A and B are shown apart, each in its own frame.
Chain A
Amino acid sequence: MTQTMIQVQNLTKTYGPRVAIDNLTFEASKGEIVGFLGPNGAGKTTTMRILTGYMPPTSGMARIAGYDVVEASLEVRKRVGYMPETVPLYTDMSVLDYLIFMGRLRRVPDVENRAWEVLERVGMEDRAESFIGSLSKGMRQRVGLAQAIIHQPEVLILDEPTIGLDPTQVVEVRQLIQEIGQEHTVLLSTHILAEAQQLCDRVLIINQGRIVAEDTPANLQLRLQGGTRILVVLQETPRDDLLQRLQHLAGVRLVETVGEQRLEIIAAEGHEVRPQVARTILESGHNLLEMRQAEMSLEEIFLQLIQEENAAPPSSDEADTAEEPAPAESPEEEA
């Protein structure tokens, strides 16, 4: 039985007239790595700050390990490890002193040994005596991770854990997160799609404070990697038997209904499925209006989702939205 570690219901946060997050609802169970994907300004950081007890929500409910973030804030904070986006550290302290200080604040027993343990975990034993101010960005990121796990939190919240790192460091930090994710529930935010795909069991795509898509990276990957996307428009709503039959065609990996009369079919690479698809549709008594092939990367899906979202008539609150989120940052190349 999986245990729900993060439970968010109708969470809303407004800054004056600006709606940062709008009625967010999601869950994460124990041992899951959940990715929070979205453009800058989408509300990722705000959500994380609420979950870590840094700021209270305007309305809605959030629980960590069953504790409400407002009513039992201290209990929540004991159970959460947090690495903010900017990785704020005391530059005038040595790595070891810093970890001991943070560990003490979180009441870690035998804090010195534990500090050495986490240093080893992030591969920084040899830099224990270095001043944080003299560390590179990648090293600081690791110290940030080390302080987040020093009290063995049940939930780990990482805000853009690989931002600003060079490709080698990115790989290292991702590896670290994957290892950590085996024992902890991890919620990480990113605007790099490949990262979400590689690390996460589940991905939430968020834009303008709302979840626009939620899927496993495997499904997202289906849409992305090498697959061919075929859009089909029918004259009538497709019946279930058609969907069944299409699904069983050789080379078809995924069939989804998109709207009333549209179907989206993902075919495996190297399979030309269009003739069979057309035949199947006609044989099942549907009328085919249109069929076209569209290649789509996850980036495009992401952009499309966001554009669809933006095109939707804005609610009165959102009309005031001050910050226009930048359409997905140019995704970094995967090493």
Chain B
Amino acid sequence: MRTVWIIARREFTRYFTTPAAYLAAFLFLLILGIIFYANVAASALQASMYPGYAPGAEIIINPMVTLLVFMIPAITMRLLAEEQRMGTIELLLTSPIRDSELVLGKWLGSFLFVGALILLTLLYPLALNQLVDPGIDWGPVITGYLGLLLMAAAFTALGTAISSLFSNQIAAFVATLVLFLVLWLIGFPSQTLNGSPIWQYLDFSQHFYNTLAQGILDLRDVIYYLSITALGIFAGTMIVETRRWR
């Protein structure tokens, strides 16, 4: 387990020295700030027309999901793809660490970075709380942020697995983004066409907007995200292992 931490710590600190990660984080916070400002302004307008209306934390939590879908591929694309391109993977794979520890460490490093970014945005609900009277409902904030962290864990795990497939970061980015978009929309056709509920179960938005984002903590949603996380790490380990056999 110590080796997992060694790898994770290195990945985490590396995000602060690479421009791509900085840029992704900067854009994430910038766009979120703009959205927050726009939503607060729109809510103020609404409140002037419908007295008693007050926005909740959803004006910050829901847009963040969209941003994560686009940002996380940029955060995870490098994890193993770059090691493979530079050949540094050879020294990692000949160090006394298990393949699973390597993948777990890579995932943990990226998850901690994304998680830290998400927690940083707690400033917005705090600010909103000051703006509305009598303050916002903290229930959906707590479950919403829990949901965001779970989602980040699942996404970074999938991103790690996909990064291990490539030695080209851009290819890893595109493939990860496509996978996220598929997972985002997969439940949509079956919802309208009355299809199999399996597709809806696979759809990550089905496990977020109507439950965690609304303050409803359903164990099924937690299990969904945790199993996606486990699947991603497992798949990543398998891919790294099979790459040895080439």
Instruction: List A residues at the B interface (Cβ < 8 Å).
Output: 15, 49, 52-56, 74-75, 77-78, 80, 82, 84, 86, 88-92, 101-102, 104-107, 147
Contacts and interface: CB of A to CB of B under 8 A. Distances in A.
Contacts of B3: 105
Interface in B77-96: 86-96
A54 B87 contact: no
A106 B2 CA distance: 11
A102 B2 CA distance: 13
B27 interface: no
B94 A88 contact: no
Contacts of B88: 88-90
Contacts of A53: 93-94
Contact of A102 (B95, B245, B246): B95
A88 B87 CA distance: 5
B244 A54 contact: yes
A52 B94 CA distance: 6
Nearest to B101: A105
Interface of B: 2-3, 6-7, 10, 14, 17-18, 86-98, 244-246
Contact of A107 (B92, B96, B245): B96
A54 B93 contact: yes
Contacts of A82: 90-91, 94
A283 B88 CA distance: 65
Contacts of B245: 55-56
Nearest to A147: B91
Given A56-B244, A56-B245, A105 B97 contact: yes
Contacts of B93: 53-54
A241 B117 CA distance: 86
A90 B246 CA distance: 24
Most B CB atoms within 10 A — which of A49, A75, A77, A104? A104
Nearest to B18: A92
A287 to B, nearest CB: 57
Given A56-B245, A86-B87, A92-B17, A80 B94 contact: yes
A91 B244 CA distance: 24
25 contacts: A52-B94, A54-B94, A55-B245, A74-B96, A74-B97, A77-B94, A77-B95, A82-B90, A82-B94, A88-B86, A88-B88, A88-B89, A89-B88, A90-B86, A91-B86, A92-B17, A92-B18, A101-B10, A105-B92, A105-B95, A105-B96, A106-B96, A107-B2, A107-B96, A147-B91
Most B CB atoms within 10 A — which of A92, A105, A107, A147? A105
A110 to B, nearest CB: 15
Top 8 nearest A-B pairs (CB, nearest first) are A88-B87, A88-B88, A52-B94, A77-B96, A78-B96, A105-B95, A104-B6, A55-B244
A101 B6 contact: yes
B244 A102 contact: no
Contacts of B10: 101
Contacts of B2: 107
Contacts of B89: 88
B6 A105 contact: yes
Contacts of A74: 96-98
A49 B97 CA distance: 16
B42 to A, nearest CB: 43
B106 to A, nearest CB: 13
Given A80-B94, A101-B6, 15 more contacts: A15-B246, A52-B94, A53-B94, A54-B93, A55-B244, A74-B97, A77-B96, A82-B94, A84-B91, A88-B89, A88-B90, A92-B17, A102-B91, A102-B95, A147-B91
B14 A92 contact: yes
Contacts of A77: 94-96
Nearest to B10: A101
Contacts of B244: 54-56
